Amino acid sequence: MINMKRLSSNLEDLSKIGRNPNGGMNRFSFTDEEKEANKLVEQYMEEAGLSVYYDAVGNLIGSMDGAENLPVILLGSHIDTVPDGGKYDGALGVLSAIEVMHTIKENGIQLKHPVRVISFKDEEGSRFGYGMIGSRTVAGTLKAEDLLREDDSGISIQQAMKNFGLKERPLESAKLVNVKAYLEIHIEQGKVLESNHVGVGNVTGIAGPLWLKFHLKGLAEHAGATPMNQRHDALTAASLIIAETEKIAKQFPPAVATVGKMTIKPNGVNVIPGEVEWTIDIRSIDESQRNNIEQMIKQFAGKITTKRELELQVSELQRIAPVQCDEDIQTAIQESIREIGEEVVSLPSGAGHDGMQFKDRFPVGMIFVKSVDGISHNPKELSLEKDIEKGSNVLYHTLLRVDGT
């Protein structure tokens, strides 16, 4: 069984890096915080007997040879966070995978397949508004032009990679093809496991996120001298569109739509807003339903824009298809959950994960660990040690099953 004391202390130590005064995590890609966190994860990987290296985009990889020349099994997750994030999102997946490999080494088990534990670069997309650059690179889908995307201070991903000290290498060198399976353990970030009174779950599929940016242009004018019926107020129009977005999404459960970022220009108390920019994150496990929601929002926004003589630009930040988890891996996970004496609960993931990038490339399986009150992307994010231990042991047994040991 895994060593929960070691895993818990590693989780605690990693969570000290990038922690802000109110206990939230700010660990963004290609920053000093991430460099420090990478150093710690490298150490854990080496202690687990893994040989450590970085690929062309900066994924941190711990590798263990297999007894036979077989396709590789990938374990992974991410250590970057959302702004003011929690201590388990992503970090649990990387550290639990390392703990499983450490336990395999201590138990003197020689796996047939080679294994790579990957700490994927920039899963959240917090800094550049374009997530999963690490897993896209492994899937071979990251394009050179994607690296031109910039953060709020105008630094491109490419420049950030150079500043981070990454050796320049062709992205293709990081693509992995001969892969047997990708396994990820992650906190659920929702309330299904808790409402079913279980600590772990088998993931059936991952909802795909569509991120759009709306930019509305009106006319900044004097708040006191401009009559109400002669305004081109970008913020009032945006508020109507955002209210309608919520109404539309509520018609199609379990699909969701979220406005997470917004800027107002010139942002003065006594100035009618001339420009407003906001993001919408639309998710569904059903791609056609998501596209339908997207069209309905765009149509409504177009109507409001024309009526109020404003200018609207809608740009796509990312569009990731939903993915179904592999049936055989789900069976291995379900058997492993039973093996540790737990009841099997299977559920879709509303949150996005690196495994989506491997759709139609190699089989994906995910194990969920209960989130207390379903809270995540919040400093209050919490998963209990006993559930983390169960989930990590399920990952251990699932890896042995997938390996055929």
Task: Give the nearer residue to ligand HGY in terms of CB position, either 114 or 355.
Answer: 355
CA 225 to chain centre: 47
Interaction partner, residue 146 (ligand HGY, Mn ion, none; CB < 5-8 Å by kind): none
Binds 352: which of ligand HGY, Mn ion, none (CB < 5-8 Å by kind): ligand HGY
For the chain, give percent helix, strand, coil, nearest 5.
40, 25, 40
CB of 132 to Mn ion, least distance (A): 9
Q: Which of 33, 34, 122, 123 binds ligand HGY (CB under 6 A)?
A: 123
Q: Is the four-CA dihedral 102, 107, 108, 112 of positive or negative sign?
A: negative
- Residue 381 CB, shortest distance to ligand HGY, in Å, is 11
Q: What is the largest CA-CA distance in the chain?
A: 79
Q: Which of 27, 102, 180, 353 binds Mn ion (CB under 5 A)?
A: 353
Binding of Mn ion by 90 (CB under 5 A): yes
- What tokens appear for 254 in the block? 């379990």
Per CB under 6 A, the list member of 124, 188, 277, 326 interacting with ligand HGY is 124
Does position 24 bind ligand HGY by CB under 6 A?
no
What angle (nearest 5°) sits at the alpha carbon of residue 53, between those of residues 162 and 32? 45
| Residue 232 assigned ligand-binding role | no
The one segment of 123-131, 230-238, 313-321, 361-369 that binds ligand HGY by CB under 6 A = 123-131
Q: How far is the CB of 367 from ligand HGY (least distance, A)?
A: 16
Quickly list DSSP for 275-295: EEEEEEEEEESSHHHHHHHHH
What is the DSSP secondary-structure string of 113-152?
S-EEEEEETTSS-TTTS---HHHHHHHT---GGGGG-B-T
Length, in residues, of the chain: 405
354 labelled binding-site residue: no
89 is a contact residue toward Mn ion (CB under 5 A): yes
CA distances from 113 to 23, 49, 259, 397, 399 (A): 40, 16, 43, 15, 10
Binding partner of residue 356 among Mn ion, ligand HGY, none, CB cut-off 5 to 8 Å per kind: none
Q: CB 76: neighbour CB atoms within 10 A?
A: 28
Judged by CB under 6 A, does residue 93 bind ligand HGY? no
**Is 124 among the annotated ligand-binding positions?**
yes
Provide the mask over 176-215, with x wherever binding to Mn ion is found by CB under 5 A and - wherever it is not: ----------x-----------------------------
Question: Considering only residues 24, 131, 273, 322, which one is a binding residue for ligand HGY as defined by CB under 6 A?
Answer: 131
Q: According to the annotation, is 233 in a ligand binding site?
A: no
Is residue 188 a contact partner of residue 179, using CB atoms and an 8 Å limit?
Answer: no
Q: What number of other Cβ atoms are within 10 A of residue 260's Cβ? A: 12
CB of 65 to Mn ion, least distance (A): 26
What DSSP letter does each residue of 140-196 carry, written as one string?
A: T---GGGGG-B-TTS-BHHHHHHHTTPPP--GGGG---SEEEEEEEEE--SSHHHHT
Residue from the set 201, 205, 209, 365 that interacts with ligand HGY by CB under 6 A: 209
Closer residue to ligand HGY (CB): 211 or 362: 211
**Residues marked as binding for Zn(2+)?**
78, 89, 124, 186, 377
Annotated binding site: 78, 89, 124, 186, 377
Binding site for ligand HGY (CB under 6 A): 123-124, 131, 209, 351-352
